[in-house]
Amino acid sequence: MKDKSGQRKSLGKVVALCGGVGGAKLALGLYRVLPPDDLVLCVNTGDDFEHLGLHVSPDLDTVLYTLAGLNNPETGWGRRDETWTFMRALEALGGETWFRLGDGDLATHLERTRRLRSGESLTAVTRDFARRLRIRADLLPMTDDPVRTLVETPEGVMPFQRYFVARRCEPAVLRLRFDGAEPAQPSPVVIAALRSPELAVVVICPSNPYLSVDPILALPALRTALADCAAPVVAISPLIGGQAVKGPTAKIMAELAVPQTQASIARHYDGLIDGLVIDRTDRQDAAALPVPARITRTLMNSLDDREALAREVLDFGASLGDRATARQV
């Protein structure tokens, strides 16, 4: 937020939980309207997987590239000005090509893998990459421990990327599991921020609640810290008119027999959120929500959209006041 001199005004710390594409859009909006040092980004690593011997962190990379201005705006994933020489050569050698790795993107995976093998933590590598790409927000994996999203389908249990990329989300989702979440230690930086007296608001980005946010919330200590934190927690619904802007949120809700409504999203975050931001299209749903709603435009096509939504979210959070206060009322 800018004051009259055009300086971005500090509200205190802002923690945002986010997944990939949708989350990264709002993360960029927040990054641009806040003093950059105020933003702590806690990113899903449930989609991480080993591929071709490399540690791939799709959501971390999407946020990294987006904040560094390196993202591919057409695809929503990967890098701009990417080349694909590697994939063509790999195909000629009979390598696995179902997961597309661009030539520039490969540098991230290779260098991360090398540093992880040399004993650095995912947190240390991620922060250093962000620093080198001149990102001043604190970009953090939700944990340094392995958590793996598994999708239970009628065809059996699938690792996330097999479901998401190889099978294009076609199999019905019966249940989602986050292997390793129970014993995993969440990022101590995120926990400290959630407990900080400087915390102004926690933002749950409009990422897929089931695939991208739930792995974060599956970390017991993080969920507890979120439930206990003094600042308001605000989620932005990924649904607009019962549909997701991108990705399988609505499809998964149908498969899980959850109505594709804003009330379902609010209930999904029951006990954790103090307010839900919904799109104008769904203004009639506001009254049925168990938490206060902020009605605005949630579709983020342009950079202005991202910044405008970020401002709305921060303003909404500020309007909710302290949770302690809110709950006493």
Query: Would you tell me which residues interact with a copy of itself (CB under 8 A)?
Result: 52-54, 79, 81-83, 85-90, 92-95, 102-108, 110-111, 113-114, 117, 128-129, 132-133
Rank residues 94 and 197 by Cβ distance to a copy of itself and give the closer one. Answer: 94
Between residues 108 and 208, which has the closer beta carbon with respect to a copy of itself?
108
Closest approach of a copy of itself to the CB of residue 210, in Å: 31
Rounded to the nearest whole angstrom, what is the least distance from the CB of residue 27 to a copy of itself in the complex? 20
Q: Are strands 293-296 and 239-240 parallel, antiparallel or unpaired?
A: unpaired
Q: Which is nearer to a copy of itself, 23 or 78 (CB)?
A: 78
**Which is closer to a copy of itself, CB of 83 or CB of 224?**
83
Looking at the Cβ atoms of 84 and 254, the one nearer to a copy of itself is 84
Residue 261: name the closest of 236, 280, 289 by CA.
289
CB of 253 to a copy of itself, least distance (A): 37
Least distance (Å) between residue 87 CB and a copy of itself: 8
How do 243-244 and 239-240 pair as beta strands?
A: antiparallel
Q: How far is the CB of 277 from a copy of itself (least distance, A)?
A: 34
Closer CB to a copy of itself, 132 or 168, in the complex: 132
**Nearest distance from C-beta of residue 182 to a copy of itself, angstroms:** 29
